[in-house]
Structure 1
Amino acid sequence: MRRRGGQRRQCAPGAACGAASDGHIAQLVREADVAYHAGNREGNERSIGIEHEGVVDAPDRWFTDTAYRASAELAADIGARYDIPVDREHIVGHNEVPGATHTDPGPYWDWDRYLRLVRAAR
C-alpha cells in the first residue's frame, strides 16, 4: 500500500505485516525499521507491505477466503489510518513496484475480489 498522509502507527510506512492462510495477522518488522518487502529502497520506504502466505503459482493451496478477508481487513484499517485510497493505483502487488524483481502476489491473486473486500471492511 502506498501512503498518502497520516501519522506513524501499527504497520507504518516501511513496516511489513503478514497474513497467513488461516487468517492470522502479524507485524513482521518493527515500525522503527524499514522492511525489505517491495524490492527497492524507495518502494520499501514509501509503502506498507502486507505479505501473504502462499505460493505464487499454486493459488488453490494458499490463497484462502480466510486469508483474503484477514488481509482485506488489515488493508482497510491501514488505509483508513493513513488516508490511502482503495484503488489499484495505491494498492499494488510487489510485482508492480518499479524496479523490483518480486513476482508476488502473482497472476492468480484476485484483485477485484480483494478490493471489494477492502471496501466492505472500511
Structure 2
Amino acid sequence: MNDLDFVRQRLAIVDELLREAGQEDEGRLPWQAPPDPLTAVDEPRHSPLRLLALERQFLLHLLDECHAGQAGATLRQWLARNERLVQGRGGAREADARASAAGDLASLTHTILTDLLARLERWLAQDEGDTLSS
C-alpha cells in the first residue's frame, strides 16, 4: 500500500459523507460546476460540508498530480505556498472583499491540508507498523 491508496480511500469516505448529506444533483456533485470553491457548495464558509467539498478538491488534485510516494511532499509544498497567504492576512481589516475571501480560503486551505497531512502520516505509520509486525 502507498500514499495514493490513502488518498483514494479518503476520497471514497469524503464522497460517501457528501452523498449522505444529499450533496449530489443528478449525478453531478454541486462543486464540480462552479470554479470558485467558496461558492461551490451552498453552505456557510466554515460548514463541515464546505470543508468536505474543499477536501475533495485537494484529494482529486493529489490523484492527478502525484505518483506513489509523493503525496506527503506535495501536501507540504501546498502548505508552504498557502502559509504566505495565511500570514499575509495579518490583523488589519480587509478593505477589499476579494482579499477577504482569499484570506478565508487560505485559512480553510491551511486547515484542510494540515488535517490531510496528519491523516496521511498516521496512515503511513500504521501501515508501516502493520508491515513490520507481519
In the superposition, the TM-score normalised over structure 1's length comes to 0.30
Q: Which has the higher strand share?
A: 1
Q: Which has the higher helix share?
A: 2
In the superposition, the TM-score normalised over structure 2's length comes to 0.28
